[in-house]
Amino acid sequence: MNLNLVTIIGAGTMGRGIAQWFAQCGVRVELTDANSEALQTGLDLVHSSWKKLEQKGKFSASEVSGFKENLKAVALSELSTSSDLVIEAIIENLEIKHKVFLDLDKRMGPKTILASNTSSIPITELATPLSKDRKARFLGLHFFNPATIMKLVEVIKGSETEQKLCDDLEAWFKEKGKKPAQCKDSPGFIVNRVARNFYGEALRIAEKREYSEIDHVLKEVGGFRMGPFELMDLIGIDINYDVTCSVWQAFNKEERFAPHHLQKEMVDKKHLGRKTGQGFYPHE
Amino acid sequence: MNKIIISNPQHPLFEQISKLENFVSLENLTDQSCELLIDFTAQDSNAKRKLFKKFNCPIISDLSLNDGESLLKEFRNIEIAISSVFPSPNLKAEVFYSLMTYKNELLDLFEKLDLKPIEVKAPGIGFIFGRTLVQIINEAWFALEDELATEDAIDTAMLFGVNYPRGPLSWGAEAGLKNTVQLLEELFSTTNQNRYKVCEKLKEASL
């Protein structure tokens, strides 16, 4: 498989991170966003990241110059129609995503692969409005933040996605140093499903124990880089709670995915973690 | 001191433990008396009860798979409870001291087993690490049962998506699937919550 031109829709944290990673891999990238200011900010942030990496000696000046050549900010209306792969990384809203993909389906060449970086919307549902041929070339590519560092890409096959397309993309990502993991289109995919009980069980243990003791044990004994309460504070307790509720609902309220009352209480109190200065721990 | 160290092959550290001085395999244990029993067996709470009833001496016991809170209330001679069944990537194990009399005995033993103690305030049910880990392993098995992805893909995703130190399926294999199932069953029977129901595929694989 050859990916010469990749288009990223959405210049937020995930979109610009994915764009940066592809550009670093030597692929030409068009980064776009419906909001022109957000697009310019996204591009500036990637450039500033490269500047820092160059200062740290991670990349040479000529490498960074090449990366900048690879990455272009392009208005939504002016995207190349010959892109090999378009990855959508916008707000998690089905209606808005449908509009974007319908438009892309009409504008892009017949061979263009369309992909979503969604973490919660079923891939098959996202593909609903697409033409039959495009459905075969539509899949989920779920990157993890920060996309330039985290190696995993979940390659998610929708009900009509060609198996060969998933296999070819898996091989391509492997060749570029990522660790792809293929999976079926199922709630939470792999990570957001299997990781739920890291938080869920810790919250139940916390009914009788202190957060700091649980975090300490899971880091020291379990070897996890962060404890569940520190991590929830970092991610945002509201965001973690939303993911928990979404997976729980999607699994018909299976008890093992049930949110814990403490999560809701924290959200109601606006104790959301680092971003509000108070979560399970106080933050300055 | 006249002490006995016991273990069974279900314990992942059995081989190392069996090389220690004063070691007696659980199956060869007779009604002998001693001044200190160091119990490194991995078994369910009823089997533990049977064992503890045979000894009036102070006990150090590995309660990785058990409702330690209840056993400690029932058997006041359990002075130290530990958890060393579930493999720690950092070679550390939770330790709860009810009494400190035999702390040095334990530290000496841990050194021989290349383990470092992390003191906790209570044993709970399966301690903190084991209880959290078995729930992650159980879900990985549910994912496998649903044919969500291959074993390799599930482990890869958790290693490289959230930086887990081990893939949950290989971690479960290392800990022993029987041990994983036993702790889940203990959690289920103690709390009566369906969230601890064992994945059928995991149960079958553990047999």
Domain containing B159 — which CATH number? 1.10.1040.50
The answer to whether residues A131 and A101 belong to one domain is yes
Of A162, A184, A206, which closes a domain?
Answer: A184
- Asked if the structure places residue A189 within a domain, the reply is no
Q: Using a CB-CB distance cutoff of 8 angstroms, which residues of chain A are in contact with residue B129? A: 217-218, 221-222
pLDDT tens digits for A64-116?
Answer: 999 999 999 999 999 999 999 999 999 989 999 999 999 999 999 999 999 99
Average pLDDT over residues B68-96: 97
The answer to whether residues B61 and B101 belong to one domain is yes
The answer to whether residues B68 and B136 belong to one domain is no
User: In the prediction, which pLDDT does A85 show?
Assistant: 98
Whichever domain contains A211, its CATH number is: 1.10.1040.50
B143–A194 C-beta distance less than 8 A: yes
HEC string for A246-283:
HHHHHCCCCHHHCCCHHHHHHHHCCCCEHHHCECCCEC
Whether the CB of B139 is below 8 Å from some CB of chain A: the reply is yes
Of A157, A184, A211, which closes a domain?
Answer: A184
Residue A218 near residue A228, CB atoms below 8 Å: yes
The answer to whether residues A152 and A109 belong to one domain is yes
Spatial neighbors of B17 by CB under 8 A, at least 6 apart, are B5, B7, B11, B23, B40, B113
How many helices (H) and strands (E) chain B has is answered by 9, 7
Residue B76 C-alpha, separation from nearest chain A C-alpha, in angstroms: 21
Residue B1 C-alpha, separation from nearest chain A C-alpha, in angstroms: 31
Whichever domain contains A141, its CATH number is: 3.40.50.720
User: In the prediction, which pLDDT does B30 show?
Assistant: 81
Whichever domain contains B29, its CATH number is: 3.40.50.720
The answer to whether residues B81 and B145 belong to one domain is no
- Asked if the structure places residue A130 within a domain, the reply is yes
The answer to whether residues B48 and B111 belong to one domain is yes
Q: Using a CB-CB distance cutoff of 8 angstroms, which residues of chain B are in contact with residue A150? A: 160-161
- Asked if the structure places residue A235 within a domain, the reply is yes
The answer to whether residues B112 and B80 belong to one domain is yes
The answer to whether residues B88 and B30 belong to one domain is yes
The answer to whether residues A245 and A176 belong to one domain is no
A221–B128 C-beta distance less than 8 A: yes
- The domain containing residue A217 runs over which residues? 195-276
Of A160, A184, A208, which closes a domain?
Answer: A184
- Asked if the structure places residue A162 within a domain, the reply is yes
The answer to whether residues A244 and A112 belong to one domain is no
The answer to whether residues A118 and A202 belong to one domain is no
Average pLDDT over residues A262-275: 96
Name the band, by pLDDT with cuts 50, 70 and 90, for residue B35.
very high
pLDDT tens digits for A23-37?
Answer: 999 999 999 999 999
Q: Which pTM was predicted? A: 0.94
The answer to whether residues B93 and B156 belong to one domain is no
- Asked if the structure places residue A169 within a domain, the reply is yes
Name the band, by pLDDT with cuts 50, 70 and 90, for residue A264.
very high
Average pLDDT over residues B39-49: 96
Q: Using a CB-CB distance cutoff of 8 angstroms, which residues of chain B are in contact with residue A256? A: 135, 138-139, 142, 194-197
Q: Using a CB-CB distance cutoff of 8 angstroms, which residues of chain A are in contact with residue B140? A: 194
User: In the prediction, which pLDDT does A187 show?
Assistant: 94
Burial class of residue A140, CB neighbours in 10 A (0-12, 13-18, 19+): buried
User: In the prediction, which pLDDT does B29 show?
Assistant: 85
User: In the prediction, which pLDDT does B1 show?
Assistant: 78
User: In the prediction, which pLDDT does B27 show?
Assistant: 86
Residue B7 in 3-state DSSP? strand
Spatial neighbors of A182 by CB under 8 A, at least 6 apart, are A154, A155, A156, A157, A166, A167, A170, B149, B150, B153
Nearest by CB: A222 against B88, B147, B193: B88
The answer to whether residues B102 and B25 belong to one domain is yes
User: In the prediction, which pLDDT does A86 show?
Assistant: 98
Q: State yes or no: pLDDT of A120 exceeds 90.
A: no
The answer to whether residues B113 and B188 belong to one domain is no
The answer to whether residues A178 and A250 belong to one domain is no
- The domain containing residue B181 runs over which residues? 128-206
B140–A200 C-beta distance less than 8 A: no
A197–B138 C-beta distance less than 8 A: yes
Q: Using a CB-CB distance cutoff of 8 angstroms, which residues of chain A are in contact with residue B196? A: 256
User: In the prediction, which pLDDT does B124 show?
Assistant: 96
Q: State yes or no: pLDDT of B31 exceeds 80.
A: no
- Asked if the structure places residue A190 within a domain, the reply is no
pLDDT tens digits for A126-169?
Answer: 999 999 999 999 999 999 999 999 999 999 999 999 999 999 99
For A216, the closest chain B residue by CA position comes to B118
Number of folded domains that form chain B: 2
Residue percentage of chain A with pLDDT more than 90: 98
Residue B69 in 3-state DSSP? helix
The answer to whether residues B90 and B162 belong to one domain is no
- What letter does residue A145 receive in the DSSP assignment? S
Q: Are strands B23-25 and B3-7 parallel, antiparallel or unpaired?
A: parallel
- Asked if the structure places residue A28 within a domain, the reply is yes
Of B54, B86, B119, which closes a domain?
Answer: B119
pLDDT tens digits for B156-168?
Answer: 999 999 999 999 9
Buried b (16+ CB within 10 A) or exposed e, A155-184: bbbbebbbeebbebbbebbeebebbbbbbb
The answer to whether residues A77 and A137 belong to one domain is yes
Q: State yes or no: pLDDT of B28 exceeds 90.
A: no
The contact set of A with B (CB < 8 A) is: 144, 150-152, 154, 179-184, 186, 189-191, 193-198, 200-202, 205, 208-210, 213-214, 216-218, 220-225, 228, 255-256, 258
The answer to whether residues B31 and B112 belong to one domain is yes
- The interface predicted TM-score (ipTM) is 0.96
User: In the prediction, which pLDDT does B33 show?
Assistant: 82
Of B119, B154, B178, which closes a domain?
Answer: B119
Number of folded domains that form chain A: 2
pLDDT tens digits for B6-18?
Answer: 999 999 999 999 9
The answer to whether residues A178 and A202 belong to one domain is no
Task: Give the C-alpha separation, B202 to B140, whole Å.
Answer: 9
For A154, the closest chain B residue by CA position comes to B157
The answer to whether residues B82 and B158 belong to one domain is no
Q: State yes or no: pLDDT of B32 exceeds 80.
A: no
